[in-house]
Chain A
Amino acid sequence: MSKFSNIKKDFPILERDINGNKLTYLDSGATSQKPNSVIDKMTEIYKFNNANVHRGTYVLSAETTQEYENVRYKFQSFLNATESDEIIFTKGTTEALNFLANSIANKFMSEGDEIILSEIEHHANIIPWQMVAEKYKLSIKYVKVNEDFSLDLDDLSSKLSSKTKVVSIVGESNLSGMLPDIKEINNLVKANSDALLIIDGAQLVPHRKVDVQDLGIDFLVFSGHKMLGPTGIGIVWGKKELLNSLDPVYGGGDMIEEVHYDKATWAPVPHKFEAGTPPYVEAIGLGAAVDYLQELGMSEVEKHSDELREYGRKVLLDIDGVNVIHSQETIAGCTFGMYVDGVHAADLSLMLDTHGVAVRAGHHCVQPFHRKLGIDATIRSTAYIYNDKKDIDTFKSALISSVEMLR
């Protein structure tokens, strides 16, 4: 029996009845549901261990600190990082990208330098760069996305130059499921520039095995809540020497070595980037989420995602009147953007909700790419480990009946 056949029982929310139907949750691109082990771990900390980390010299604080720091080792192994110090806790992908944009621009960039993004980035990987570009007089170039929703790597090559200081690209598209060839991108970037390569792993890390050493990239950022963990916690992984060379963006709390009235010195990596009381209970909860995923095995998680993607391609691509935004490459994520001519995405998602089907409606924080396609809004289905083929069938039949009702 597959590890996934009985998995729904670990997720109490999936028992919920929505509008007289069992919940069919297909909005894991927005956030994932949580297994009992994560919920229980966080409750346990609050009930029996809670004390601020790195502060108190008493049993509770020592225990919590130990649990919190252990999560770094879990991620070192999860990502095959060289050291646990390369794991920095943040609030999530958005904060991680804001931190990197500010810290890198401050340290390594000057007027006229260039940042390369792609046309299908999430707003979190556009706006922080726009903000620093304005402040430091930098320019931003966008790599084209082809009609089959793949990334135009020739266009990337042509845009790279000695002026390029940062390339920040999505690891898995939250709209089309596109999985760019990160190794190839890294080779191109390193061969044609001195730029740092950042991968936005918000959708990638929950679904696929990521080995940062094998990829050769410089930074990877992702959120905990999309990979079974709680909200308010995310990770920046960076190469140690790069992290050492960057300055903190936030000051205060645990990030110091010494403070004087006129100056302060920073604690070593990773703590110099973790100002204030960190979300340690969330970090520990995320540790339980990683344990859960490791127990399943990320290669199994990947296989499951591939199976559901293939099934989705089989049943969702030929629905009458439904246009699909989905990568046409062999390997892609299990995400399908959809729109129906003459039917508003908000109406569709409200109708799907009456069938107990939860999908996202809107521009999914990828507004410029929607504009490029000439559409306002789409609905988006993203499956995860707790979904099965039956969920996709339920989605399909609810979609057909909703479209009929709205036309």
Chain B
Amino acid sequence: MSIREKVDEYKKILDIFPNDQEKYQYLIEKAKENDSFPSELRLDNFKVIGCQSQVWLVPEEKDEKLFFNSDSDALIAKGLVTLIASIYSDEKAEDIVSNEIDLMEEFELGVILSPARRNGAYSMLKTIKEYAKKLIT
């Protein structure tokens, strides 16, 4: 699935939930499903700077594609980073860098996806793109 297709898929799911509370509950479920992050990777150099809670994103390259493993000590942030990581995983670095989809505009996720530049989701996206850029150059 392309990044676009994955975003559309998540949009469909998120649209089912009528309010922020149910959307957050969905993210909490996603967080609970993501139990594969090795605790020894909770390292400072994998930390996403700019989140209220601690968030980790670890890139891995396999068959010329990037995969992201993610974790957080807060549940809603963890659900969000899990969702974002799955959108950009299994993609080529070039496709991640050239992709211009603005998740803040695509998803309606209450205050956690407000358009402010100093928020956690923005920092998560920036981190993913920086990893991809490093791989190209």
| A and B co-occur in one complex | yes
Which positions in A face B, CB cutoff 8 Å?
19-20, 344, 346-347, 350-351, 353-354, 361-362, 376-377, 405-406
Question: What residues on A are CB-neighbors of B76 within 8 Å?
Answer: 346-347, 350
Q: Is the CB of A353 within 8 A of B111?
A: yes
Complex: A361 Cα to B52 Cα, angstroms: 9
Q: Is the CB of B53 within 8 A of A354?
A: no
**Which residue on chain A has the smallest CB distance to residue B79?**
A347
Complex: A406 Cα to B75 Cα, angstroms: 8
Q: Is the CB of B25 within 8 A of A346?
A: no
Tell whether B99 is near chain A: CB-to-CB under 8 Å. Answer: no
Q: Is the CB of B19 within 8 A of A19?
A: yes
Some 10 contacts from A to B, beta carbons below 8 A apart, are A20-B19, A344-B77, A346-B76, A347-B53, A347-B74, A347-B77, A350-B24, A350-B111, A353-B111, A354-B24
Question: What residues on B are CB-neighbors of A354 within 8 Å?
Answer: 19-21, 24, 110
Q: CB < 8 Å: which of B25, B54, B73, B112 contacts A405?
A: B25
- Given A344-B53, A361-B52, A406-B28, residue A351 in contact with residue B77 (CB < 8 A): no
Complex: A50 Cα to B123 Cα, angstroms: 41
Q: Is the CB of B24 within 8 A of A351?
A: yes
Q: Chain B interface: which size bin?
A: 10 to 19
Which positions in B face A, CB cutoff 8 Å?
19-21, 24-25, 28, 52-54, 73-77, 110-112
**Which residue on chain B has the smallest CB distance to residue A355?**
B21
* A39 CB, min distance to chain B CBs, angstroms: 24
Question: What residues on B are CB-neighbors of A350 within 8 Å?
Answer: 24, 76, 110-112
Question: What residues on B are CB-neighbors of A376 within 8 Å?
Answer: 54, 73
**Which residue on chain B has the smallest CB distance to residue A401?**
B21
* B49 CB, min distance to chain A CBs, angstroms: 15
Complex: A19 Cα to B74 Cα, angstroms: 22
Q: CB < 8 Å: which of A347, A351, A362, A377 contacts B21?
A: A351
* A60 CB, min distance to chain B CBs, angstroms: 37
- Given A344-B73, A346-B74, A350-B112, residue A19 in contact with residue B53 (CB < 8 A): no
* B32 CB, min distance to chain A CBs, angstroms: 11
* B120 CB, min distance to chain A CBs, angstroms: 9
**Which residue on chain A has the smallest CB distance to residue B75?**
A347
Complex: A283 Cα to B28 Cα, angstroms: 46
Given contacts A344-B75, A347-B76, A354-B19, 4 further A-B contacts (CB under 8 A): A19-B21, A344-B74, A346-B53, A405-B25
Complex: A20 Cα to B77 Cα, angstroms: 23
**Which residue on chain A has the smallest CB distance to residue B21?**
A354
